[in-house]
Amino acid sequence: MSVSINSFLYFCDINCYVELSKMSKMIEHPGIVQTKGDGVVMVLITQSSACSSCHAKGACTAADKSEKLVEALVIDNNLEVGDAVIVYGQRKLGMKAVLWAFVIPFVILFVTLLLLQQTGLSEAWKGTLSLATLIPYYIILSFFRENLKKGFCFYARKAE
């Protein structure tokens, strides 16, 4: 049973509250289904550096590859464990993830460090306190994990 991407985009929009637009703004990664649930699969994606696809890839180390498990939605439940799939997601999701994981913490760190410059503390204390401000940020972020998860929607279909 083949499922069109457009029908799944509508499904994803309802369940994840993600506004999926043009296909040119989609990213895709091949992967292998590790576990299967009701309408959801866990897909193992192997990411490798750009040099690992060249003719000298035998000289590259194992550090050039990383494996990630991604939860992806499916419409047709004909996927089985071990099937090769393509995982799709919006390109703008990457920018959103970078914002939450790196940009906002950097701004918090930088502003805290600027504010602490006005105090008479040593450089070591200023740096330590600036880094300590990130602990509450990531704790608060973890409380909103389920809300953030709704905004990061990936889906899978059988590789052709």
pLDDT tens, residue order, the chain (160 aa) = 333 333 333 334 444 544 444 445 788 889 999 999 888 899 999 876 666 556 656 666 555 678 888 888 887 778 888 899 998 888 788 888 889 999 999 999 999 999 999 998 999 999 999 999 999 999 999 999 888 877 788 888 888 7
Q: Which of 12, 32, 28, 31 is nearest to 20 (CA)?
A: 12
Give the span between the Cα atoms of 65 and 150, in whole angstroms. Answer: 28
Pairwise CA distance, residues 13 & 20, whole Å: 7
What is the rounded CA–CA span in Å between residue 74 and residue 37?
10
What tokens does 137 get?
């940020």
Phi and psi, residue 79, nearest 5°: -80, 140
The Cα angle at residue 99 between residues 95 and 104, in degrees rounded to 5: 170
pLDDT of residue 53: 57
The pLDDT value recorded for residue 58 is 62
- Strands (E) in 2-160, as ranges, are 26-36, 40-48, 65-73, 84-90, 155-158
Cβ proximity of 74 and 155 under 8 Å: yes
pLDDT of residue 56: 59
pLDDT of residue 13: 42
